[in-house]
Amino acid sequence: MAVLIDPPIWPAHDTLWAHLVSDTSIEELHAFAAAAGIPRRGFDHDHYDVPESRWHELVALGAEPVGGLELARRLAASGLRVSQREKRGL
């Protein structure tokens, strides 16, 4: 039961981005994000996109740093993963 964050390696909009997920519930994820002041517009079906500039702060607030593969594995195991196919409505 944790909020997880992967390394900020995803480039977009002149910065690098990380993913913030919960391996317990979407409600836990939204609560953590709200407490950290992350705007809801950063939510993408099963994760929040967060800029590199916030990474250390989110870890200090309790997000568990994990590698990208570990994050994906734990998200899938939780049953909360939303596939690209589902995101496109296919």
Decide: residue 32, CB within 10 A, 0-12 exposed, 13-18 middle, 19+ buried.
buried
> Shortest CA distance to 46 belongs to which of 64, 66, 71?
71
Position 51, amino acid: P
Length in residues, the chain = 90
pTM, full prediction: 0.86
Residues 11-63: pLDDT tens digits? Answer: 999 999 999 999 999 999 999 999 999 999 999 888 999 999 999 999 999 99
- Beta partners for 22? 3
